[in-house]
């Protein structure tokens, strides 16, 4: 088990900073995900840790030792790429044994370790097959066994599940978690899939445009995404530009254009006068059909469209707020054109930093 520290690391490609001054710590034995949209610098970060490309600024440390000048094969890291990168001309046994042979282990040790690694990933009895004779899921397991067999200090996984179909992907997700628990290996998992990151990780690093946007536990990031970018990326459907008009004992009041009363929020992030974004998830908005029903932060509107999500229906509702139509989820069947009252519960409203709204 080893701790990884990325310290003010930057990488310049031609004129473009693929990553810029990123810093984070991956605790020993943790499962840490790097989450972000395509092109935000996830693979670059992983390659810098692995040593496949060199940093232009900053350093990577493993257990407090600067490894910048070590070539990849001396870093003792296991890497699994999105396309698995198995050697097509080697069978499963030889693919997995590859790193051990290069390390010149004795044959008996090699075969014992290969056998154990294949057992660990749930793939016994396929040693003689070649990669093209395996399914995507099986190839994935071989790639994992090949990375783990060298008993790496750190396991680096670059979108390892994205080539699998939905069912296999969720199966492999559980498998990854089990394998990580059994081995205790420090794992850095790159993904653009928020659900994968939320379900697998002890800690998530969210990246945007070459920078670290937020770092925290899945729960913290889900409940307090802090920026409009992260909220949007985590699927918060309603982002409403607002200004904090007052801080009160239990939270804050905000002004939203097109709404004549203050909106109450149970959160105190920010200060009076701040331009912010209010975030609220569609299933946290209550739809009331009876206009007499009361509730917090009442807004009325007209249903303009809906999407059936299986279980719930997401309604698009045009209101007087100067923002996109609100999205509210409900199990009830309502018709387009109906007037409804919405409650935006104060405890469900998030105060978000609006700096990055332009990037959405």
Q: Which is nearer to ligand ADP, 55 or 138 (CB)?
A: 55
Q: How far is the CB of 207 from Mg ion (least distance, A)?
A: 11
Q: Which is nearer to ligand ADP, 81 or 130 (CB)?
A: 81
Euclidean distance between CA atoms 76 and 192, whole angstroms: 26
Regarding 40 and contact with ligand ADP (CB under 6 A), the answer is: yes
For residue 74, what are the contacts with CB-CB under 8 A and spacing of at least 6?
Answer: none
Q: How many residues bind ligand ADP (CB under 6 A)?
A: 12
Least Å from the CB of residue 12 to ligand ADP: 9
DSSP 57: E
Choices 39-47, 247-255, 307-315, 335-343; region in contact with Mg ion by CB under 5 A:
39-47
The reply on whether position 194 binds Mg ion by CB under 5 A is no
39 is a site residue for ligand ADP (CB under 6 A): yes
Tell me which DSSP letter residue 360 carries. -
Q: Which stretch binds ligand ADP (CB under 6 A): 42-50, 91-99, 125-133, 332-340?
A: 42-50
Stretch that binds ligand ADP, among 12-20, 62-70, 174-182, 308-316 (CB under 6 A): 12-20
3-state SS, residue 60: strand
* Among Mg ion, ligand ADP, none, residue 44 binds (CB under 5-8 Å by kind): ligand ADP
∠ CA 178-183-184 to the nearest 5 degrees?
95
The reply on whether position 43 binds Mg ion by CB under 5 A is yes
- Rounding to the nearest 10 degrees, give the CA dihedral for residues 46, 50, 53, 57: 70
Reading the block at residue 77, the tokens are 């890291």
Minimum distance from CB of 62 to Mg ion (Å)? 22
33 counts as binding Mg ion under rule CB under 5 A: no
Q: Does 44 bind Mg ion (CB under 5 A)?
A: no
Cβ contact 147:182 at 8 Å: no
Task: State the burial class of residue 78 (Cβ atoms within 10 Å of its Cβ: 0-12, 13-18, 19+).
Answer: buried
Question: How many angstroms separate the CA atoms of 251 and 274, rounded?
Answer: 14
Using the minimum distance from each CB to ligand ADP, give the nearer residue, 40 or 252: 40
Task: Label residue 292 left, alpha or beta by phi (over 0 means left) and psi (-120 to 50 means alpha).
Answer: alpha
Q: Which residues in this chain contact ligand ADP in the complex, by CB under 6 A? A: 13-14, 16, 18, 36, 38-44
């Amino acid at each position: 088990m080893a701790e990884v520290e990325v310290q003010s690391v930057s990488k310049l490609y031609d004129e473009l900073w693929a990553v810029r001054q990123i810093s984070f710590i991956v605790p020993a034995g943790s499962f840490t995900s790097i989450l972000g949209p395509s092109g935000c610098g996830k693979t670059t970060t992983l390659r810098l840790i692995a040593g496949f490309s060199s940093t232009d600024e900053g350093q990577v440390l493993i257990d407090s030792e600067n490894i910048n000048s070590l070539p990849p094969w001396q870093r003792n890291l296991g890497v699994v790429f999105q396309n698995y990168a198995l050697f097509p001309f080697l069978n499963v046994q030889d693919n997995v044994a590859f790193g051990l042979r290069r390390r010149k282990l004795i044959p008996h040790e090699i075969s014992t370790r290969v056998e154990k690694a294949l057992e660990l990933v749930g793939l016994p009895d396929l040693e003689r097959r070649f990669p093209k004779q395996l399914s995507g899921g099986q190839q994935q397991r071989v790639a994992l066994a090949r990375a783990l067999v060298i008993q790496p200090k750190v396991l680096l996984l670059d979108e390892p599940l994205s080539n699998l179909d939905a069912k296999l992907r969720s199966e492999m997700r559980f498998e990854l978690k089990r394998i990580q628990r059994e081995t205790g290996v420090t794992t850095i998992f790159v993904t653009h899939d928020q659900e994968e990151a939320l379900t697998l990780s002890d800690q998530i690093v969210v990246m945007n445009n070459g920078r670290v946007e937020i770092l925290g536990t899945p729960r913290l990031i889900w409940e307090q995404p802090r920026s409009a970018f992260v909220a949007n990326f985590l699927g918060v459907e309603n982002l409403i530009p607002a200004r904090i008009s007052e801080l009160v004992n239990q939270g804050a009041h905000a002004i939203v254009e097109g709404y004549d009363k203050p909106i109450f929020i149970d959160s105190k992030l920010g200060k009076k006068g701040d331009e912010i974004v209010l975030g609220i998830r569609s299933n946290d908005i209550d739809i009331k059909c009876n206009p007499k029903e009361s509730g917090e932060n009442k807004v009325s509107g007209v249903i303009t469209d809906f999407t059936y999500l299986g279980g719930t229906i997401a309604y698009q509702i045009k209101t007087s707020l100067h923002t996109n139509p609100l999205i509210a989820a409900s199990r009830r069947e309502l018709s387009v054109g109906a007037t409804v009252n919405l409650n935006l519960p104060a405890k469900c409203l998030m105060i978000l930093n609006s700096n990055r709204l332009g990037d959405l």
